[in-house]
Chains A and B, each alone.
Chain A
Amino acid sequence: MQFIWDWFRWLYQTTGINLTIFYDSFDRHRFTDGFLMTLKLSLICIVLSVLIGVVGAWLQGSKLRVTRHVLHWYIQFFRNTPPLVQLYFFYFGVGSLLRSSLGTGNQPLVSNVTWAIISLSFFAGAFNVEIFRSGVEAVPKTTLEAAESLGFSRLRAYALIVLPLAFRISLPALNNNLVNLVKTTTLAYAIAVPEMLYVSSQIWSDELNVPVMMNVLLVCYFGLVGVLVYVMHRWERAIKVPGFGA
């Protein structure tokens, strides 16, 4: 490995391209941790937001008016406000409220990373509910009726028939939203979550290599989103069913 790091040092000395994240072990660790934090945020939020979407789309068919109303306002709130404001709302608003009401003093009950995960998952989840709902609505009522006539309960029909079909219909829209989610994780910067953008800004204020770090960031996000898109497309192809959907 050492010769790689040496090469980057040589690159800096000959061209001025200062990639401290390679040859400087402190920066290298900072950046790797940041990258892993972004990865962690992305993966956890993807899973949680998809779960919120699946459960939300199911609850939207609920017979209870209250449930449908709560869901409606949840979606309105998270869709019609900026995600950065939501993040502040959770971290500074709800977070300090919790602190003062539980009297824990300055000791935060919920870490900034957790708030970022909660906030971003709810944000992307609101869109996922809408995405899955349109998928669920595109499943013919008659298919559901056939399931019912065979004795499937509503929950079982949803899990085994409606959801798998709705998923296939929703995948393109879901792809877009998840790509957006990965890019939105950069907002966690604002509440000092040490993700990739945050550590990069620390590095460039120490090393004064702003343009280089900017390019590093672009390449990293491009790669990260590229992998996500690739995986989603592979999945889309794998679950494609002949004669269903386009």
Chain B
Amino acid sequence: MSTNQTTEARRGKAPAGERVADWADGRLGIYSLAKANMRKIFPDHWSFMLGEVCLYSFIIIILTGVYLTLFFHPSMNEVEYHGSYVPLQGQLMSEAFNSTMHISFDVRGGLLIRQIHHWAALVFLAGMFVHMMRVFFTGAFRKPREVNWLFGFLLFVLGMFTGFTGYSLPDDLLSGTGVRFMEGAILSVPIVGTYLSFFLFGGEFPGGDFVARFYSVHILLLPGIMLGLVVAHLILVFYHKHTQFAGPGKTNNNVVGMPLLPVYMAKAGGFFFLVFGVIAAISAIAQINPIWAIGPYRPDQVSTGAQPDWYMGFSEGLIRVMPGWEINFWGHTLVLGVFIPLVIFPLVLVAIAVYPFIESWVTGDRREHHILDRPRNAPTRTAFGVAWITLYMVLLIGGGNDLWATHFHLSINSITWFVRIAFFVGPVLAFVITKRICLGLQRRDKEKVLHGRESGIIKRLPHGEFIEVHEPLSQDALHTLTAHEQYEPLAIGPTVDENGVERKVKGSERLRAKLSEAYFGEESQIPKPTVEEYKEITSGHGHH
């Protein structure tokens, strides 16, 4: 039998799927790829699904967005409305608004797709926010994942702007007010502000260009960049492998969980449909952005209670509570009342983005970390994170000051002052309180390790005293509660070397030692129980 015949014979027998795979392998090398990845292990934890929520809502946004482009006209030409929504008939509006009306009333299912697109955008950004916080509080951003942290952060920021340009497209009264707000903010930039504004809007506000310009930014530029970032983000997740929480059998050198095929694929694939299904159902019952009730944009009209989507709320808060400072000099105006919020806006975001690099500088730790921290075991980081969230939330409250005022019958004045004070005091308080709570929890863990778990059983001792019986922990639990690492504060070391020559201690070195003390000094962590302590106590009880 010649070799030729063997191949012939085999080809005849192999199932069709295998033959297709063979074909692809010969061209793309898929077998080697599958060998490394098909049974790749994914650890399971509910919080690991947050990233998936983001990915899936992103896919949903792209699918529905492409559908919307089939009907949406990104033009600001004024037309008279003649569609099927009676109250607006005869009214002047831009083609953008007109076509969004058409999508909402005359394209069957168009309203649903619009609502899914918008709801998915809200879920996408909320998902990214919570996912980012998960990564932050568990220390998952540590080496080797710092770059992926930055990718994720960029996705969040770009997502905000994609959302903003998106909800500005229908050119309705609400979003137009938001665009005006943005134009006012740009005008406040010293020296170049008016030029930036004229270039962005093709002249004076609102002009006839911004919808078309926002459109290409919204559907092409930003999503294109984001798609690239999402792919890079996922490749890195695959390459680094997932982190995991400490536990029996889990080390820094392994990853414990279930294989991609079949379990993870079924769960993750199924989860996509769950997310899509829930968003579709929400879009069926909860109306979002009913532009017909808001009306087309007119620069001289406004709807009350104008609010941006939630992810822009904190910038709204900044601009609302800032005092209206303006400085006039030599024929120029420095519009601090608007420009300062415009500067703080990115700074708030950058503060959380650079944190991982500050922490790694303070610890000087260059090892890879694949075991997640429990937030309590990194009190300073956790406290910083909570302080940041507090700042964010205070600004969100400021962004909705009129809503708070009407719902709770408060005066705008007192809310504004509350936000102004809380802007400075809130994060500090949050920091101190969080740190104390973390230390309390650490102490409780230590108690548990050394004295066991409270069993709820009360025992009466021979001399009449009542005590609660403590059950010793299993070795699994003992290991899990003591697996975390504890750093020692960094000492500057002797400033005089052995020859008596004084060594210069740089300012940065001193700062670092101070920070290290703040992170890992006695005030900032409870030393975890040692084996000796454990043995002494358990042998003291005698009966284990």
Question: Is A bound to B?
Answer: no
| Residues in B lying within 8 Å of A, measured CB to CB | none
